[in-house]
Every structure is written in C-alpha cells, then in structure tokens.
Amino acid sequence: MSTTRGLEGIVATTSSVSSIIESVLTYQGYDIDDLADNASFEEVIYLLWNGRLPKEDELSQFTQELANHAEIPKEIIDQMKAYPIGKVHPMAALRTAISSLALFDEQADVMEEDANRLKALKIQAQIPTIVTAFSRIREGQEPVAPRTDLGFAANFLYMLTGNEPDEIAVNALDKALVLHADHELNASTFTARVCVATLSDVYSGITAAIGALKGPLHGGANEAVMKMLTEIGDVNNVEPYIRKALDNKEKIMGFGHRVYKDGDPRAKHLREMSKRLTEITGETKWYEMSIKIDEMVTGEKGLLPNVDFYSASVYHSLGINHDLFTPIFAVSRTSGWLAHILEQYDNNRLIRPRAEYVGPDKRSYIPIEQR
Ligand SMILES: CC(=O)SCCNC(=O)CCNC(=O)[C@H](O)C(C)(C)COP(=O)(O)OP(=O)(O)OC[C@H]1O[C@@H](n2cnc3c(N)ncnc32)[C@H](O)[C@@H]1OP(=O)(O)O
Ligand SMILES: O=C([O-])CC(=O)C(=O)O
C-alpha cells in the first residue's frame, strides 16, 4: 500500500458542481470571473443546485422562497441565549445551532429527493439568520427578524445591524458570497460528502462541514489574517513582522494553496474590493498593509494570496466583527456543500479509503498486574 499525505492530487469523486482546471475556477462551467462580475448570490445558488442559470421569473421565485424560509424556530434563539456568551466562537455556535435545527425539522431524516431539496432551501435560508442572531445575542441585543422584501446579502446586513444597509455594502457582500460559494473538493466539502455518503442526513453533512471549515488552515484563515493585520497595525511594521515570521518558519495566513500554484483567481477580485472599500472608509492602511505583505510573501516565498487574504480587509471595511468572517464564509459555502450533498445522494457509494498501518508489530495482551 502506498500513501499520499493529505490525499494531495488524489481524485476522490466525479462532480459537475465546480471545477479547477489549469487554475481556472468554474461553477457548472461558468468562469468565476464572469460570475463575480455579473451574477447575484441567489443566481449562483440556483446554478449550483440546478446546473443552469435561472430565468428571470425563476430567480425572483427562488429569491422569494429563500426569504420566506429565513425565520428560525424560537427554540434555536432561546438555545443560543443559553450558550456561554463571551467564551463561544461564532463558528462553534453556528455548528451547534445548525445541528439543533435538525431537531425541529420533522423531515430531517426523510431521504427522498424533494424532502432533501426542501431541507437545502431551509438551511441556506436560515444560516444567515443564525449567524446574525448569535452576533446580536452575545452583544446583549435581541435578534432582528429577517425581512421578506430584501435580497440575501441585504437581509444578512440588515439582521446584523438592524439598519437597512447601503448599496455599496450589499453589492460588496453579494460579490464576496459569489466568490466563496463553491470550490471543488476542498476539505469541508469532502467532509460533507463523506458524512452523507453513509446516508446520514443533510443537517449532519452541513454540521460536519462547518466543523471542517472552522480550522485556520481552511476557512478560519480569514479571521487569522485580520489578527495578523491588527497586530502589524501600520504599513511601516510589515517588513519586520513578516521577516521575523518567515525566519521563524511560521505560516503566513492567507497564503498558499493545495491546488493553485499560480494564484487563486478569486484573490484579484477581493484585492480590488479591498482597495475600493478601504478608500471609501478612509482606512486605506488595511489595503496598503495587505499589498506590502503580498509583495513580501510572494517575492520571498513564491506563495500567492488565497481567497482568505484580501477578504479579511473587505469584511473589516464592511464593519463586520472579525470572528464573524469565517461564519460568513460558511453562509456562502453552504450553497456549495448542499449542491455536493445532493449530488452525492444522487449517485451514492460509501466513502471509505484505507490506511497504511505503521503501528507496533503484532503483540500479545499482557495482564495488568504483569505490566
Ligand atoms: C479557503 C481556504 O481554505 S484557502 C487556504 C487557507 N489557509 C491558509 O491561508 C493557511 C496558510 N496556508 C497553508 O497553511 C497552506 O498553504 C495550505 C494549508 C493552504 C496548503 O497546504 P499544503 O498544500 O498542504 O502545503 P504545505 O502546508 O504542505 O506547505 C508546503 C510548504 O510551503 C510552506 N507554506 C505553505 N503555506 C505557507 C504559508 N502560508 N506561509 C509560509 N509557508 C507556507 C510550508 O511551510 C511548507 O514548507 P516546507 O516544505 O519547507 O515544510
Ligand atoms: O480548495 C481548497 O482547498 C480551499 C479553498 O480555497 C476553498 O475551499 O475555497
């Protein structure tokens, strides 16, 4: 038996949801550059779940259905109020709340396609409500109920702040959601597929995926990037900070990628957004620091920024708390996880690889008094 550490380069399934071929990312055949410039997040969800772009009436119906399903059971809000506020990371809260949602869905274990599609719609609709409700609860505020007359990104920002957001913020968040929606067989999507390939339910798949996304080598990197930017604090501190980190062989968060070696096609969109948004807020230092870090890490290590690097200064510029960055990633990636879960059910086989044994040779049990 031979092993490949971290399954690098192993093709573990077929999928028509998204592809990365020669560093070009497509969702169902549409280039991410094209979608980032033209599509709304609702359109992208529809595309990922149906394999084609919606017509006008289909999109408005789908957008309305999402808005109509956005309320979460009161019991989930009450549960979140009982979480140990101050000690709980919002990703942990989200993981628990999504798992709890299953308890209030009588169809949770019904494995028919229509029931699974309805669960997908409900989970996608409710995940922003959970993230924003928890954010408010921990700040001692009441959650803001979703509105049925706002689009997905606008509703998120409205529920977060209680105020109707401006168009610039809505468009920026919408674009970030489009850019994060799916990414072939990344760690959290693989986790979701492994989970549901046992014929476990959709909620279990999403709960497992949230757990995988939380780690700093994956979705958790966007918060870690902001921590680094905050520690650096000023563009003049970039050089000594990064030099020390590189000399100590520390990982610079937001750089490197398992698949892209010539750069992540999503990063340029986020870099541009970071530039524009920091100009609007007047806090250009976040962009300037990011650019300087990028130049140093790329120049010295040949490592390029991934999706998490510039998204940090984008979300910060939108006034979002730093520990909500990864939950926002989850809000978007749920669309991709759900597409992969539905695809897995459609042509399922248990996912069960092998391990090469490297433990002790065969030995005999020694009674406890003789050890
Ligand atoms: C949405 C996403 O998940 S995008 C990725 C988000 N994660 C991050 O930004 C965290 C920082 N980056 C990393 O840890 C890695 O680049 C990963 C996990 C993304 C990809 O990892 P892998 O393909 O497994 O590369 P691996 O971790 O084996 O690194 C290979 C070499 O490059 C180095 N390296 C990789 N990334 C970085 C980095 N960000 N900073 C410094 N060195 C790095 C490693 O130290 C290693 O060096 P070595 O061979 O001298 O030991
Ligand atoms: O594909 C990966 O390994 C990580 C990534 O960029 C993503 O999930 O968006």
Q: What CA–CA distance (Å, rounded) separates 31 from 24?
A: 7
* pTM: predicted TM-score of the whole model, two decimal places: 0.98
Across the range 275-282, mean pLDDT stands at: 98
Of 182, 308, 316, 340, which one is the catalytic site residue? 308
Class of residue 267 by CB neighbours under 10 A (exposed 0-12, middle 13-18, buried 19+): buried
* Residue 253 near ligand 1, beta carbon < 6 Å: yes
Average pLDDT of the chain to the nearest whole number: 97
ipTM of the complex: 0.98
Pocket test for ligand 1, best of 244, 251, 290, 310 (most atoms within 8 A of CB): 251
Min mean pLDDT across 83-92, 215-224, 234-243 is at: 83-92
- Integer Cα distance of 335 and 211 in angstroms: 16
Mean pLDDT of 341-351: 98
Q: What is the mean pLDDT of residues 60-66?
A: 97
Residue 233, Cβ neighbours under 10 Å: how many? 12
pLDDT at 3 over 90: no
Q: Is 316 a catalytic residue?
A: no
Q: How far is CA 115 from the centre of its chain?
A: 24
The predicted pLDDT at position 227 comes to 98
Contact 20, 184 (CB under 8 A): yes
> How far is it, in rounded angstroms, from Cα 253 to Cα 290?
11
Q: What is the pLDDT of residues 351-361, one digit of tens each?
A: 999 999 999 99
Reported as a single tens digit per residue, the pLDDT across 124-180 is 999 999 999 999 999 999 999 999 999 999 999 999 999 999 999 999 999 999 999
Q: Is the CB of 254 under 6 A from ligand 1?
A: yes
Structural domains of the chain, with CATH:
18-214+332-346 (1.10.580.10), 221-317 (1.10.230.10)
In sequence order, what E strands does the chain have?
Answer: 18-21, 24-27, 30-31
- The dihedral of CA 66, 67, 71, 72: what is its sign? positive
pLDDT at 234: 97
CB 309 within 8 A of CB 270: yes
Q: Are 40 and 174 in contact (CB under 8 A)?
A: yes
Q: Could you tell me if the CB of 183 is within 6 A of ligand 2?
A: yes
Q: Give percent of the chain above pLDDT 90.
A: 98
Q: Alpha-carbon distance 271 to 276, whole Å?
A: 9
Q: What percent of the chain has pLDDT over 70?
A: 100
CB neighbours (10 Å) of residue 296? 18
Separation of CA 124 and ligand 1 centre (Å): 30
Helix runs in 105-220, H state only = 113-138, 152-161, 167-180, 187-196, 202-213
Q: What is the mean pLDDT of residues 318-325?
A: 98
**Could you read off the pLDDT of 179-223 as tens digits, one per residue?**
999 999 999 999 999 999 999 999 999 999 999 999 999 999 999
For the segment 20-58, what is each residue's pLDDT rounded down to a tens digit?
999 999 999 999 999 999 999 999 999 999 999 999 999
Question: Rounded to whole angstroms, how far apart are CA atoms 211 and 229?
Answer: 25
